[in-house]
């Protein structure tokens, strides 16, 4: 009987510990395992106009934008760990669940220098490093999807700083081939981001990425890629203003396939380019305001130019949305996205997403 009581007490403590993490904690404590995650069921209505006969081409569907669960914790002494899985089969071309993050961190130097080894988000771009569960619009900007990719990669990362300090930084040495993919050459990408807090309400920062990618013909010289980003964020009480500009330069020494990225940074295809230097860029700007009724209107503009040397490669997106926060862990997002290409196409969209965190 005594053993049964003791086992019951232990089980109760484990449940309590797990519940604590389930409320959105970001790091472990002691040697207990914390469980975290979120799901984002979503409804999409795509406005595609009509055909020559006047028949509607509009489509609609239900999907899971993301469905994630993970574990994290700390091992005495100075070791943190984090593992996150994506169970939504809609996020990769292969339509299969996959590993998102898996790393071990050495935390002896506290907030000044944490050393992480494994697979994690690339330390590039303000919007990319905003948690998926914390985005103010359903989708990230197209320029971020394309120029910050691959969103996740394998490597080593040194990061430090805090919101309470004047500066935050992250510097990584990474494969450059993306998540769950072995490196295909001996060169590594150098990626970094720094953010300054000159005032409590203001943050200003920048990111960089330098690396090399394989040409189509392995006998040719490795191609060179460079990425640069500048960001700004201003928050005054319930008003938030954010913006970012990103420039990409691809120096191709021979005909090569350049990756095209999709949502969450996965490679969705390749664009064949001839030898030459290609510049591409884009920007996004967003404003949101939290009302006393937990309703948060959002307006966002983003623009993406996939090739400066070719006319008609720019696409502009205007997103108008409203977020309703049911509680600290659940929200509903409604977005209307107006898309304007250089060669007009009817392809606007309405998205409704319900998020629950645990």
CATH of the domain at 58: 2.40.160.10
Q: Find the largest Cα–Cα distance for the chain.
A: 79
pLDDT-derived band at 6 (thresholds 50, 70, 90) equals: very low
Q: Is the pLDDT of residue 4 over 80?
A: no
CA dihedral 42, 47, 52, 53 (to 10 degrees): 70
**227 neighbors 148 (Cβ within 8 angstroms):** yes
Whole-number Å distance between alpha carbons of 341 and 358: 39
Rounded CA separation 2/141 (Å): 59
- The model carries a pTM of 0.87
Q: Which positions ≥6 away from 102 have C-beta within 8 Å? A: 82, 83, 84, 118, 119
- Give me the domain span that covers residue 83: 2-357
pLDDT digits (tens, 9 = 90+) for 292-309: 999 999 999 999 999 999
Tell me what pLDDT residue 15 has: 38
pLDDT digits (tens, 9 = 90+) for 223-234: 999 999 999 999
What confidence tens digit (pLDDT) does each residue in 146-156 have?
999 889 999 99
Q: How many domains does the chain have?
A: 1
Bridge partners for 261 per DSSP: 267
């Amino acid at each position: 009987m005594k053993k049964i009581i003791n086992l019951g007490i232990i089980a109760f403590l484990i449940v309590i510990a797990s519940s604590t993490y389930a409320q959105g904690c970001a790091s472990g404590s002691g040697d207990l395992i914390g469980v975290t995650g979120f799901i984002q069921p979503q409804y999409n209505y795509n406005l595609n106009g009509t055909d020559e006969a006047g028949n509607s081409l509009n489509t609609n569907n239900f999907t899971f934008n993301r469905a994630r669960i993970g574990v994290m914790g700390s091992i005495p002494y100075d070791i943190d760990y984090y593992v996150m899985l994506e169970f939504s089969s809609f996020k990769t071309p292969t339509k299969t669940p996959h590993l998102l993050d898996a790393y071990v961190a050495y935390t002896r130097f506290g907030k000044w220098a944490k050393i992480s080894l494994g697979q994690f988000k690339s330390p590039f771009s303000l919007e990319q490093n905003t948690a998926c569960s914390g985005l103010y619009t359903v989708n990230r900007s197209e320029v971020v999807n394309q120029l910050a990719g691959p969103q996740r990669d394998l490597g080593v990362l040194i990061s430090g700083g805090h919101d309470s300090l004047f500066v935050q930084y992250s510097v990584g040495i990474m494969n450059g081939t993306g998540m769950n993919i072995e490196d295909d050459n001996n060169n590594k990408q150098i990626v970094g981001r720094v953010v300054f807090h000159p005032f409590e309400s203001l943050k200003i920062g920048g990111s960089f990425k330098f690396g090399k990618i394989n040409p189509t013909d392995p006998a040719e010289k490795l191609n060179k890629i460079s990425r640069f980003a500048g960001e700004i964020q201003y928050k005054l009480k319930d008003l938030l203003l954010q913006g970012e500009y990103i420039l990409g330069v691809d120096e191709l020494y021979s005909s090569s396939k350049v990756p095209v990225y999709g949502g969450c940074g996965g490679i969705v295809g390749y664009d064949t380019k001839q030898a030459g230097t290609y510049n591409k860029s884009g920007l996004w700007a967003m404003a949101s305001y939290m009302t006393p009724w937990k309703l948060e209107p959002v307006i966002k503009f983003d623009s993406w130019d996939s090739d400066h040397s070719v006319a008609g490669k720019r696409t502009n997106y205007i997103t108008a949305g409203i977020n309703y926060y049911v509680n600290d862990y659940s929200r509903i997002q409604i977005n209307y996205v107006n898309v304007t290409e250089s060669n007009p196409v009817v392809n606007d969209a309405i998205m409704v997403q319900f998020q629950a965190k645990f």
